[in-house]
Amino acid sequence: MKNFALGAALASASLIAPFTANAATEIQFWHAFTGRLGELVDQQVKDFNASQDQYEVVATNKGNYSETLNAGIAAFRAGEQPDILMVFEVGTATMMAAKGAIKPVYQVMEDAGVDFNPDDYIGAVKGYYTTTDGKMLSLPFNSSTPVLWVNRDMLDEAGVAKDAPLTTWEDVGKVLDQLKASGVDCPMTTAWQSWIQLENLSAYHNVPFASQENGFAGLDAKLEFNGPVQVKHIQTLGDWAKKGEFIYKGRRNEGGADFRAGTCALFTESSAGYAGIKSEAKFNFEVHPLPYWGDVDGAPQNTIIGGASLWVMSGKDDSHYKGVAEFLSYLSSPEVQAKWHQDTGYLPITKAAADLTREQGFYDANPGTDVAVKQMTANAPTENSKGIRLGNFDQIRGIIDEELEAVWAGDKTAQDALDNAVERGNQLLRRFEQANR
Amino acid sequence: MEKRVTFKGWLLPMLLLAPQLIVSGVFFFYPAGEAVWQSLFIPDPFGLSMQYVGLGNFEYLFNDPYYRASFVTTAVFSTLVTLVSMIPALFLAVLADRLVKGAGTYRTLLIWPYAVAPAVAGVLWLFMFNTRIGVVAFYLNQMGYDWNHVLNEHEAMGLVVVASAWGRISYNFLFYFAALQAVPKSVIEAAAIDGARFWRRFFTIVLPLLSPTTFFLLVVNIVYAFFETFGVIHTITSGGPQQATTILVYKVYADGFVGQDLGSSAAQSVVLLVVVGFLTVLQFKFVEKRVHY
């Protein structure tokens, strides 16, 4: 009898438990972070859930950026989309074109009556995710920008003077010669070649990557990255590759392992490489602003971002959107953003978070961590430097990768390769235009 | 001689056939039909709207020199994978067949690689040939050969072929080994008495007797090279450098799931369906005639 009573009590308890849990509205949040970043996101979600009892955010990892976007799209087609989907910057045009599938963030905030001002965000971040008339469509989350990482020990060994400048690519060329002459096998490598050596290069020198304000002003944009500045840069890198001064390691961030292991001296990579480099590098490293060409007028302009933003999916109950607004507002608070910036090396995307980080003395304790912020905010973004918004962009990057590989292998000149990439990319843009007419 | 069973009504035979028909219908005919249908449209990724383009997707594909080049890449790749996985398998099977002692251990060890999933095999080979930490790349470098499959198209192709063929050698070995056991000893002994040496016996007696197995493996391996090597290519080269290892099936994935261009991806699936169907018909029509059962 005793057992029966216990059983009944347990049974009723288990019946009640889900009922009380259901009192809070469940908000599904799909993201693309694993490892350390995944833990940090889980912590943010946990803190939010603990801060109130109306909503329960459930964060789920859906693979890498491409896989997460795919999962979101497949789920939408099946009518089972999450409330919030993390989409990398390259997928921005795809999401923007899907008008029936998303609910713009400014609208979510407005409907929920949550205070939200896009101007709180630093210009280059805001510009990437807002319409031309200033309406924010998705919430910037993790943003980074490319910088130059330097292995100071290797430079010292090669006899490079401590004060030898690394400001312009001309300076870098001289240092590379010195490194090569002293027998360094990998003087320089890069991660994300299209993002750093073409997209950011274009913005940084204030030349267009594509027409129509890099695609912001219309779907009929055409690629224009085969101009003289880009050709000169890619040709120079190609020449360095031939001399063994620039070593190509792969399309993604394969070169990171080489830099962290201390085999490559210079490395152009995202500022978010900070966490990994800091924990693994057994040498003195420095962060320098991305170099620019000294002979180009208007350089350095500002670099652009990479990373992801949070999109709110349509087709959910109104009660959900209220919770989504609360959660997004929590995520963009200065405290949460400042901690995220300091933990990961991603940029502080709001001005308040940057100020808070400075007040907390983080930049003084970790020199170089503010290089990326300064480089991005040095100038007000122009048409050419507020970002890139092109359809089928993930595939276009694939084409650029292929054509650049032809340059590094010495099969094509920079002009041929870039002309070809532009032509092939334009075909994809026209297809995207057709699909979204 | 042949035994024929006749059924009185329709109900029972249909019932017996039903499981197979339903499975084929649900998992083959329905998706294939859907692919043919989708290939006539350019849809947006979210399925919100569709533009009817007729054969526009196909026109776009065949006007693309890179797509046409992908056919050549696929042909080279599948021929190499088939050869590299079948010839060593036959060689090993012949050796194992001649073993008197320890044949069991030898056999078991040779079958192991088949248990390794393609993606895992890809990662294993990638680590061995990794330009920074790879063991093989390191020794090649010591010998003065600068291995770099990240930029060298031929090296990349060689690497994905070997990584794809490696696990298949076990599979083919198993079939050849079983087939060799079934070759009648009396025929071989008779030939030996007539003075035929080992290789002579092998080429004139054993190989022809193995032809049904060879034919079966040829079909199966080509299908494997076409469709199941995705994991290897995805992990090792992602289709690069340039487009050196972009086989047709990888392009279907890249355009459909990375590029969200579902119309083109569907059209490519249809093309692939036609190509493999054609190859299979060709094999059964011409190659099979030379097979002795």
- Alpha-carbon distance A101 to A140, whole Å? 18
Alpha carbons within 13 angstroms on the beta-carbon side of residue A69 total 22
Digit-coded pLDDT (tens) for B130-158: 988 899 999 999 999 999 999 999 999 99
Pick from A70, A261, A405: which is nearest to B242 by CB?
A: A405
Q: What pLDDT score was predicted for residue B291?
A: 74
Q: CB neighbours (10 Å) of residue A120?
A: 16
Distance from CA of B244 to the nearest CA of A (A): 9
pLDDT at A412 over 60: yes
pLDDT digits over A219-277, tens only? 999 999 999 999 999 999 999 999 999 999 999 889 999 999 999 999 999 998 887 89
User: DSSP letters along A94-151, please?
Assistant: HHHH-TTTEE-HHHHHHHHT----GGGB-HHHHHHHB-TTS-B-SEEEEEE-EEEEEE
Pairing state between β A84-88 and A306-313? antiparallel
* Chain A nearest C-alpha distance from B128 (Å): 16
pLDDT of A12 strictly over 50: no
* Residues in chain A within 8 Å Cβ distance of B260: 69-70, 73, 94, 392, 394
- Which residue reads 């219908």 in tokens? B25
Q: What are the residue ranges of helices labelled H in chain B?
A: 11-24, 30-38, 56-62, 65-98, 103-111, 118-129, 135-142, 153-181, 185-193, 198-201, 207-209, 211-227, 230-236, 248-253, 262-282
Nearest-angstrom CA–CA distance, B165 and B169? 6
Of A254, A394, A437, the CB nearest to B259: A394
- Round to whole Å and give the CA distance between A156 and A230: 31
- The partner residues of A142 in beta bridges, in order of sequence, read A308
φ/ψ of A227, rounded to 5, equals -80, 175
From the list A94, A257, A437, which residue is nearest B51 (CB)? A437
Partners of B48 on chain A (C-beta within 8 Å) are: 98-101
With an 8 Å Cβ cutoff, the interface of chain A facing chain B consists of 66, 69-70, 73, 76-77, 94, 97-101, 248-251, 254, 257-258, 261, 263, 392, 394-395, 398, 401-403, 405-406, 408-409, 411, 424, 427-428, 431, 434-437
Tokens of A143: 């943003």
In sequence order, what E strands does A136-210 have?
A: 139-144, 146-151, 186-190
Q: How far is B57 from chain A (nearest CA, A)?
A: 10
Find, among A301, A244, A205, A129, the residue nearest to A197 by Cα: A205
The interface pTM score, or ipTM, of the predicted complex is 0.86
Q: In the structure encoding, which two tokens stand for residue A14, read together?
A: 């288990």
Residue A372 to residue A89: CA distance in whole angstroms: 18
- For residue A14, pLDDT over 50 is answered with no
Q: Which residues of A touch B60 (CB under 8 A)?
A: 427, 431
Distances (CA, A) of A127 to A62, A86, A373, B209: 27, 18, 15, 71
Q: Which of A29-43, A220-234, A262-276, B190-204 has the highest mean pLDDT?
A: A220-234
Q: Across residues B225-250, what is the average pLDDT?
A: 92
Question: What percentage of chain A exceeds 70 in pLDDT?
Answer: 95
Supply the mean pLDDT for chain A.
91
Q: How far is A127 from chain B (nearest CA, A)?
A: 24
Q: Among the ranges A42-51, A384-393, B195-204, which has the highest mean pLDDT value? A: A42-51
**Structure confidence at residue A123 as a pLDDT band (50, 70, 90):** confident
Residue type at position B176: Y
Residue A228 to residues A212, A402, A411, B32: CA-CA distances in angstroms? 19, 20, 20, 48
Structure tokens that stand for B103 in this block: 């044949």
pLDDT by residue (tens digit) across A59-89?
999 998 888 999 999 999 999 999 999 999 9
Identify the residue whose tokens are 């050419």.
A384
Q: What is the pLDDT of residues A327-377, one digit of tens each?
A: 999 999 999 999 999 988 899 889 899 999 999 999 998 888 889 988 988
Residue A57, amino acid: V
Tell me chain B's radius of gyration from C-alpha atoms. Answer: 23
The Cα A83–Cα A322 span in angstroms is 11
Q: Which of residues 27-56 of B touch A (CB under 8 A)?
A: 42-49, 51, 53
pLDDT exceeds cutoff 50 at B125: yes
How many CB atoms neighbour CB B97 within 10 A? 16
Local structure of A187: helix, strand or coil:
strand
- What is the pLDDT, as a whole number, of residue B133? 87
Contacts of A427 in chain B (CB under 8 A): 60, 64
Interface test with A, best of B39, B46, B61, B66 (most A CBs within 10 A): B46
- Nearest CA distance, B78 vs chain A (angstrom): 22
Angle at B138 between CA B134 and CA B139, to 5 degrees: 125
Closest CA to A113 of A320, A319, A314, A322: A322
Considering chain B, what is the average pLDDT of its residues? 91
Cβ distance of A395 and B241 shorter than 8 Å: no
Chain B residues close to A251, C-beta within 8 Å: 238, 240
Alpha-carbon distance A89 to nearest alpha carbon in chain B (angstroms): 14
A249/B51 Cβ within 8 A: no
Minimal CA separation from B58 to chain A, in Å: 13
Residues in A touching B42 (Cβ below 8 Å): 431, 434-435
CA distance, residue B125 to nearest chain A CA (Å): 16
pLDDT greater than 60 at residue A19: no
* pLDDT for the residue A10: 46
Residues A316-325, mean pLDDT to the nearest whole number: 93
User: Mutation test of the interface with chain A: which of B70, B151, B235, choosing the one with the most A Cβ atoms within 10 A?
Assistant: B151
Contacts of A404 in chain B (CB under 8 A): none
Residue B60 sits at the chain A interface (C-beta within 8 Å) = yes
Confidence check: pLDDT of B256 > 60: yes
